[in-house]
Chains A and B, each alone.
Chain A
Amino acid sequence: MIQDYVVFVGVNIVLAWSVYVILLAGSLSFANGGFMAIGAYVSGVLTVKFGVPLVVAAPIAGIAAGVIGVLVGFPALRTRGIYLMLVTVGVAVSVKAVIESIDYVGGIQGFGGMVGTTPWHVLGLVALVGCGLTLLSKSPLQRILDAVREDELSAASLGINPVYVKLTCFGAGAFLAAVAGSFYAHYLIHISPDQFGIVLSVFIVLYAVLGGTNNMWGPPIGAAIMTLIPEFVRGLEAWRPTAFGLVILVLLLIRPNGLLAFRIATTRTKVALTALDFTGARSD
């Protein structure tokens, strides 16, 4: 059903972006599946048990996840590379394990009753986040993120606080993942912890990486392709997971920088040059 496609692709696009904003600051997160779960469950509890409308519950769940993200991120972001990878994996696994042990939300069985997501909700979210990221890419903040990502030490010597920047991005990523999770839950009506395992977190990172992390359009393309490929190879019905895994491998091998490996540097430079013309700047 076309509705399903719109919702699932849309949710995955926002999820891919949630990892992208973290990658932008030079960090990494295999925990966004966990944040998504937090969003799904918190919003679910709010709507089902407290009657809060979805469009209010989702942002609240987002903030909850964002706060947890910052709390976890504060010590975690002192680690690098493999260690950060492991810590975020640990977060994702722990979130799932903790949810499984809470009977209030149904433990291993999960709980249901969440309704309210329409394709319009998801489209609206995608548009909102897309606009936000576009605004970001044209702003001085983008340069600050680039500086922190490329060389933290150097950025610090210029007065940029790398910890603050990375934490903000981490929290933002958690927020986005949680809001996406809220809409996801309210479309599926019933959720359970085993939908939010480590595989999900890794897939989210794959959406972003396969699409290309040089600019904001890579992750959505990666998300769209990875969500839709299984649908379009229906002939391989039984072999989908294998085919999927092989496709991922091939993509990683041939395009390690992702499908969109070009750099839209010109956007920023254009802005700078336009500003010059505007001031009637000196001729060279």
Chain B
Amino acid sequence: MIEQIINGVVLGSMYALIAQGYTLVFGVLDKLNFAHGEIFMLGGFICVASIALGAPLPVAILVTAIIAGLLGLLVEFVGFRKFQSPDAHLTSALSSFAIGLVIIDLSQKIWGAESVAVVLPGTLQTATVSVVGLRIVVLRLAILVISLALMFVLYLVVTRTSLGRRIRAVAESPAKAALFGINVTRVNQQVFFIASMMAGLAGLALALRTGYASSDVGFTFGLKALAIMAIGGMGDLRGAVIGGLLIGVLEAIAFQWDLGQLADVFVWLFMIVILLVRPAGLFGTLISKEVRA
């Protein structure tokens, strides 16, 4: 049971990373980025490619983060900056979706439609360590630690740095932030970079954990993280983390009892209920977005 919970936390931390990315973009732009899940997917492949090209793991991680971040900048430019009309939330959603499709297709062209195995040097993949009497795969532990570290760093950035202040200002009101001299476009770019970087790293984490990179994870995990964001609280980073971890653990337990499919339906139905009953999400505070809409 404990092992399942740990698995759940690992899974949940991955969800949390992706969900935070959705939340960041929603927070500053009030829009949904449907390409986000595909950048997550691509993270796994970039990892595979880097390792295949001989890079040691830390380098692969760095490369994945940077390329994912840069891709995020591209998505922001093509899919979001150009759409500013009143129904931009629809057109950006559609355009980011289109970008997502292109990403899937390109990755299938490059790596084929089948899953690609991650080949790690030596015994890295299977090394285990004994912690409190349980055998835990080192890799999973590392992933967990890194994911939690990333979330912590993000927390620090958002709450303690000037970048974080600017992000929060734009999230509250782009118009007011601009009046204070904040370069809103620059902040948007930075947010996209950070969000996409985290998504890419989450994809890398998934690939390492399962041993495979595959091109359909964007729609399975990626989209579900969207539901998690809504459950945790739209625009609330804390909610994304708590929601992600919670759902991750619940799913792991559900899989244990062979209720995997039910867990899927449950998450989406739960999201619908939350949005209808308490749009702020479980942990979010209601920011009256109607004012901005």
Contacts and interface: CB of A to CB of B under 8 A. Distances in A.
A and B touch in the complex (CB under 8 A): yes
A48 B272 CA distance: 33
Which of the four size classes fits the interface of chain A? 35 or more
Interface string B61-95: 00000000000000000110011010001110111
B102 A86 contact: no
B91 A256 contact: yes
B171 interface: no
Contacts of A248: 94-95, 98, 101
A198 B218 CA distance: 12
Contacts of A246: 98, 102
Contact of A76 (B30, B93, B99, B276): B276
Contact of B230 (A75, A86, A244, A256): A86
Contacts of B223: 89, 93, 198
B8 to A, nearest CB: 20
Given A89-B226, A90-B271, A97-B264, A256 B85 contact: yes
Interface stretch (B104-112, B191-199, B238-246): B104-112
Interface string B30-52: 11101000000000000000000
Contact of A205 (B32, B94, B219): B94
Contacts of A13: none
Contact of A82 (B26, B85, B94, B264): B26
B279 interface: yes
Given A80-B293, A90-B268, A245 B105 contact: yes
Contacts of B226: 86, 89
B165 to A, nearest CB: 25
Interface string B98-129: 11111011100100000000000000000000
A241 interface: yes
A115 to B, nearest CB: 30
Given A97-B265, A252-B91, A244 B101 contact: yes
A70 interface: no
B258 interface: no
Contacts of B289: 81-82
Main secondary structure of the interface of A (DSSP, over half): helix
Nearest to A88: B272
B162 interface: no
Interface string A217-239: 00000000000000000000011
A91 interface: yes
Contacts of A209: 90-91, 94
B261 A28 contact: no
B97 interface: yes
Given A79-B275, A249-B95, A98 B290 contact: no
A3 interface: no
A98 B269 CA distance: 10
Contacts of B276: 75-76, 78-79, 87
Of B85, B109, B279, most buried by chain A (CB within 10 Å of CB) is: B279
B261 A198 contact: no
A129 interface: no
List 4 tightest A-B contacts by C-beta distance, closest first. Answer: A241-B105, A245-B102, A248-B98, A245-B101
Interface of B: 26, 30-32, 34, 78-79, 82-83, 85, 89-91, 93-95, 97-102, 104-106, 109, 219, 223, 226-227, 230, 234, 261-262, 264-265, 268-269, 271-272, 275-276, 279, 289-290, 293
15 contacts: A90-B268, A97-B264, A97-B268, A101-B262, A197-B219, A202-B94, A202-B97, A205-B90, A209-B94, A241-B102, A241-B105, A245-B98, A249-B98, A249-B99, A252-B91
